[in-house]
Each structure stands twice: as structure tokens, then as C-alpha cells.
Amino acid sequence: MQSSPQNYALFNNSSMGIVVVNDKGEIQSINPFALQLFGYSIEEIIGKHVEMLIPGRFHHKHVHHRDGYIHDPRSRPMGLGMDLFAVKKDGTEFPVEVSLGSYKNNGDNNVIAFVSDITVRKKAEEEIKKLNDELEATVEQRTKELRETLYQLQISSEKLQDALSYQKALLDNAGAMIIATDENGIIKLLNPEASLNLGYNDSEVINKNSIILFHDKKELEKKRKELIRKYGVNLEDDFGVLVEESRQHIHEEEEYRYIGKDGTTFPVSVTLTTILDNAGRITGFMVIAFDISRRKKAEEDLRNALEKEKELNELKSNFVSMASHEFRTPLSTILSSAYLIEKYATSDDQLKREKHLQRIISSVNMLTDILNDFLSVGKIEEGKIQVKPIEFNIETLISTIAEEIKNNLKKKQEITYHHEGNPNAVTDASLLKHIVMNLVSNASKFSPENTSIEMKTVCKDHQLSLSVKDHGIGISKVDQQHLMERFFRGANVSNIQGTGLGLHIVSKYAELMNGSVTYKSELGEGTEFIITINLK
């Protein structure tokens, strides 16, 4: 890669801080961005020790590490895996990332530090927008400084040669992708970082390809529509779309997806500025791009965490609301029955005491069921439910469950059961029992007295099908859309005790068992739930 006058422009107009020190740790050169970053003037900082930019508590260690680097200079990130901090003139500390490089100057080792303020990364997404708003003013100032720098380069060949040496080291060691083009978009410069990330070498693209080679056509089409909407301009060529705002002296950091030579894509943050001659004419464009894959991943993780926290808060809120409503009736029953038992002190009151004891037992069971439902939901959300397949006789299991639950049915309700197909199945019998108990309990709860609950199992072709049918109040078409949601209760069951968790648990258990839930229902006619489990 050959040096060019653009290299010196890059030093003075780079969007990262650049500090050059000699082997004694004295600052030899510092770019305007770094001066702005640290809050010093050029007179205050040249010739001073670089430790003035580092918090005092790190000075001793830094001197040791600096001396070690001078003796073994290699381009690398500084303090890999560590949190690094810098300090401004006013004493304010801020987190940084630092990349180190070195070069020879008159036989002496000089160290180049590329300093990036990463405070923005540690803030939430709202900080990103704030930085973007401030970028336009920064780019305008940088463009003005670039024009002045180019003029100074033309009148000072000695400064130009020194600058070229600096800039070549910058380009070779920069942690950013730096690409320069002519006024038509043909690539004129591609630094090593850009080559590494994009997979192209200089001979493949310089003077041969447009920078559009790295861009997604769909993104440029989206940008074209945005330009039409904002400025009323409709540009045909893709490069014109890319640089139109820069031509209008509008310099904003934008996000694109670059396409590498192997076809892979990755997100980048791009700053694009114009390169002007002495007359103010555009002679080319300069692109500084950063791979923001890790930042995007962090943002996605943050969004997922916030969504999860929102779900948990909603779950807690719903539980408190449900508990305050559903606990009231059984607790009132327990309290009143306990009070009456205390009043029935004689042996003649034994039947009355037994009646109220049964009411207490029933209410305690109801509270236990509510808590068990909530605990089950918690375990499901935390991924603590493990499927444990065993071989069992289907008819024996379902008949046993029906026998256990019949005492909890309404007056003159009965359960009928029929099985077809293979007698045995291999799946989680415990989860299947919970599913059956939930469905039969619902069928009884939402059906009148003197009705039947029909159960049927079919096991064949590596599938186990379980159906539970009632002749109860049914479910409206509107409510059917929300049946499996947590805490959902139909409009026609507000006067019937329940948590709204049972069917949610059934659907999650069926899903864990490699199964599914379907249902058919008509208002006033009843409901049928069908669980289909794929057997191994």
C-alpha cells in the first residue's frame, strides 16, 4: 500500500484519538481528535509524559508496561481483556480501547496509540442517538480542517514527508477500515484492516472496483427512497446514492452491512467525508468504517433481557392479581369453618364439625392446586421440567387417574373411558398425568351436574392421542384465540374459581413431550381437547 497526501489528512481528521510518543514516553504528536478527547491544547501536551492521560493509580504499572512494549514492539490491542481508563484535563475519567503500533523515526522507536472513547458502548441505546445528533457538527469541523490540512501539505514538502511516515503507520495499524475513492467511487486506497475484514487485497480492487462492491443493493435502494423522501432527488447510480448527503456537506454516521469477498455480511458504522482540492472541488471521498458486530450482539442481548424482565414483571403482577382474587374465597371458607368448629363443642355437633372440616380440607386443596399451578409455570419458564420417558400401560394409568379424581366431580357427573390400539407407550407418565388431571378438572368445573366426561386414548403409528370431551358451557370463538395464554380466563367463567394457568401448563407439557394440543368447542354445547404425542 502506497502513501499519499490523504494519509496526512487521515491523521488530522481521524475519528479516533492518535497519540505518538518516543521511547522515553514523551508525547511527540497528537491529533486534533485526541486533543478534543482529553481537553488539552497542543502547547499543554507536546513533550509531556503520556502518563498525564492516565489516572494516577495506574501510573506505576503503565510505566513498566510502556518500557516493556518499547523493547518488544508489536501491533496489538493494549490491555487485552482488561478495562482501560483515561483521564481528561479536568480530571474526568472515561473508559477507552487502545491499539498500539510502532515505527522507526531517525533510528528511534516511536509508539503510536489509537485511542477510542467507549463510554457510548456502556450506555443504553438512547446514548447512541445522542452521539449521532452530535456527529454532524463534528464532521463539518473535520471537513474544514481537512481542507486546511491539504493546503498546508502542498506548501511544505518536509512536513509532507513526515506526515506520510505517520500516516502509513496509521493505516497499517489502525483498528478501523479506511477506504479512499476518487470522485466516481473507484477505490484508490484500502488499509490492512479493510483488507482483513473484507477479504480483498490491494491488487484486486484498487483502480478496478467501486466501493459499491462492499454494499448490499437492497440497503442502497432503501437509501435511494430515503433521499427521494427527504430531498426530492432520485439518483440512478448506486454510488451517487451513497455519497449524495456528503456532497451536500451532510456528514452523519450511518449503519450498513458490508459484504466480504466470500459473501459473508457484517454490520458496520460508516463515516463518509469529501476530499477537496484548494478550490473546494470534490476530488474523492474518505470512508472510515468500524465492524460493530459485537455492539449489535450486545444490543440484541440487552433487548432480550429487557423483554424477559418485562415478561417476569408481568407474570408477578398477574400472580398478585390472581392470588388476591382466588385466595379470598378458600381463605374465607377456612376462617369461617374454623370459627364454627370452635362453636360446635358438644358431641351432638360432630356431624357439623365434620362438615366444616371437609370444607377446610377442600379449601386447602384448592389453595394447593393454585400454588402448584404457579410453581409449575415457574419451573417451565426456568427450563427446570425434565422429560423422563418410561414404558407404561396406557389403560391402567388413565383408569387410575379417573379413579383418583372422581371424588372431586360435581354431583352425578361421571367419567367414561375407552382405549384403542397398542396397550403400552413410552413417554413421561407423570407429565401425562398432570395433563389428564388438568383437562378432567376443567371439564368438571365448566360442566353442570349430571353430565358425562368422555375420555379416549388411541395408540398407534408411533403416536398417542388423548381426548377429553365435556358437555359444558363451551368456549367462544374470540376466547379460543387466547386459551393457552398465562392467566387467561374466558368471558363466561368469571363466576367460576380458577387461575387461568391450567391450559397454559397443558400446552407447555405437551410441547415438552414432543406433542401438540388441539380443541373443538361451541358455546353451550361443550368442549373437546385432543392431545397428540409423538412417541419415540
Beta strand segments in 106-148, E:
108-117
**CB of 135 within 8 A of CB of 271?**
yes
Could you give the CA distance from residue 184 to residue 393 in angstroms, rounded to a whole number? Answer: 78
Residue 445 has pLDDT above 90, yes or no: no
**CB of 465 within 8 A of CB of 530?**
yes
Name the region of 510 (left: φ>0; alpha: ψ -120 to 50; beta: rest): alpha
Given the C-alpha cell 472541488, which residue does it identify? 281
**CB of 212 within 8 A of CB of 238?**
yes
Cell for 138? 463534528
Q: What is the dihedral of CA 456, 457, 460, 463, to 10 degrees?
A: 120
Q: Tell me the per-residue pLDDT of 253-289, one tens digit each, with 9 for 90 and over.
A: 888 999 999 999 999 988 888 888 888 888 999 888 8
Q: Provide the 8-state DSSP code for 384.
A: -
- Which position has the higher pLDDT, 168 or 475? 475
Q: DSSP 3-state assignment of 181?
A: strand
Residue 322's CB is within 10 A of a number of other CB atoms, namely 20
Residue 178 has pLDDT above 50, yes or no: yes
End-to-end CA separation in angstroms for the chain: 62
> What is the pLDDT, as a whole number, of residue 125?
46
- How many Å is the Cα radius of gyration of the chain? 37
> What is the pLDDT, as a whole number, of residue 317?
60
- Can you name the residues that pair with 112 across neighbouring β-strands? 20, 101
Q: Tell me the per-residue pLDDT of 88-115, one tens digit each, with 9 for 90 and over.
A: 999 999 999 988 888 887 777 889 989 9
Confidence of residue 498 (pLDDT cuts 50, 70, 90): low
DSSP string over 408-441:
GSPTT-EEEEEEEE-SEEEE-HHHHHHHHHHHHH
- Can you name the residues that pair with 458 across neighbouring β-strands? 420, 465
Q: Tell me the per-residue pLDDT of 186-228, one tens digit each, with 9 for 90 and over.
A: 999 998 888 889 999 989 999 989 888 999 989 888 888 888 8
Give residue 64's identity as a one-letter amino acid code.
H
Residue 3 has pLDDT above 60, yes or no: no
- Domains, the chain, in order of start with CATH, read 1-123+148-155 (3.30.450.20), 176-291 (3.30.450.20), 300-381 (1.10.287.130), 390-534 (3.30.565.10)
Provide the edge-to-edge strand list for the sheet that holds 452-460: 414-421, 452-460, 463-469, 526-534, 515-522
Provide the edge-to-edge strand list for the sheet that holds 177-182: 187-190, 177-182, 282-291, 265-276, 254-259
Q: DSSP 3-state assignment of 268?
A: strand
Q: Tell me the per-residue pLDDT of 8-41, one tens digit each, with 9 for 90 and over.
A: 777 888 888 999 999 898 999 999 999 999 999 9
Task: Report the predicted TM-score, pTM, of the whole model to 2 decimal places.
Answer: 0.41
Q: Tell me the per-residue pLDDT of 128-160, one tens digit each, with 9 for 90 and over.
A: 567 666 766 665 776 577 567 656 756 655 555
Q: Tell me the per-residue pLDDT of 328-369, one tens digit each, with 9 for 90 and over.
A: 556 666 667 676 776 776 666 677 767 767 767 765 665 666
